[in-house]
């Protein structure tokens, strides 16, 4: 069932009037592959460029974007997040792993906020590093976990 269509097939915002308020969290992850010429500039957990610290700026951009999800994605409810946290690090394959955790006590979930936060942080890494190489790949963005609401989800 597509929840953003009415009985006539027209787009509409999901009515959450009758839903119960609950604590809701979501974690999303984006993975960015950086070529060797960019990776060699990694120092102390981040990349320093003429624009500044790549990871720190990506964290700020991701949080700002998560807060604006209702403005960016049609039919998303505008939400005042209780919390948004972004972590950035390297995995065993030397890929940049970005995780965005969003939470709220509300009638609707924060999956889209977490996904937007992780996505924009990944795009910010790309933007800040593209002067060193355009061979950067944003490999994936996916929901890892959500709690609250009708049912929980956790990717295996």
pLDDT tens per residue, range 73-129: 999 999 999 999 999 999 999 899 999 999 999 999 999 999 999 999 999 999 999
Instruction: Report the percent of the chain where pLDDT is more than 70.
Output: 96
Structural domain including 94 reads 22-148
Q: Read off the pLDDT of residues 2-18 as tens digits, 9 standing for 90 and up.
A: 677 777 878 888 889 88
Query: Between vectors from CA 56 to CA 42 and to CA 142, what angle results, nearest 5°?
Result: 90
In a domain, 155, yes or no: no
pLDDT over threshold 90, residue 1:
no
CATH value at residue 70: 3.30.70.640
Q: Is residue 153 in some structural domain?
A: no
The average confidence (pLDDT) of the chain is 92
Q: How many domains, in total, are found in the chain?
A: 1
Reported as a pLDDT band with limits 50, 70 and 90, residue 44 is: low
Domain assignment present for residue 37? The answer is yes
Report which of 52, 57, 140 is spatially closest to residue 96, judged by C-alpha positions.
Answer: 140
| 123 within domain boundaries | yes
Tell me how crowded residue 21 is: count the other CB atoms within 10 A of its CB: 12
Q: Just list the catalytic residues.
A: 127
Q: Residue 34 and residue 125: Cα distance in Å, rounded? A: 9
Side-chain half-sphere CA neighbours of 64 within 13 A: 9
Q: Is 15 helix (H, G, I), strand (E, B) or coil?
A: coil
Judged by DSSP in three states, 58 sits in helix
Residue 26 lies in a domain: yes
Give mean pLDDT, residues 48-70: 92
Pairing of strands 22-33, 96-106: antiparallel
Q: Would you state the pLDDT for residue 4?
A: 74
Residue 132 lies in a domain: yes
- Please tell me the least confidently modeled range out of 35-49, 64-78, 121-135, 141-155: 35-49
Q: Is residue 43 part of a domain?
A: yes
Within a domain: 13: no
| Res. 133: pLDDT tops 90 | yes
């Amino acid at each position: 069932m597509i929840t953003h269509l009415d009985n006539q097939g027209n787009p509409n915002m999901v009515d959450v009037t009758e839903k119960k308020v609950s604590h809701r969290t979501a974690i999303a992850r984006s993975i960015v592959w950086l070529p060797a010429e960019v990776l060699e500039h990694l120092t102390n957990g981040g990349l320093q460029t003429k624009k500044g610290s790549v990871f720190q700026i990506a964290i700020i951009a991701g949080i700002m974007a998560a807060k604006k999800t209702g403005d960016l994605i049609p039919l998303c409810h505008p939400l005042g997040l209780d919390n948004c946290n972004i972590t950035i690090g390297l995995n065993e394959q030397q890929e940049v792993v970005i995780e965005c955790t969003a939470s709220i006590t509300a009638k609707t979930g924060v999956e889209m906020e977490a996904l937007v936060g992780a996505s924009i942080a990944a795009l910010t890494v790309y933007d800040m590093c593209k002067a060193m190489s355009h061979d950067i790949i944003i490999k994936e963005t996916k929901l890892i976990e959500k709690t609250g609401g009708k049912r929980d989800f956790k990717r295996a």
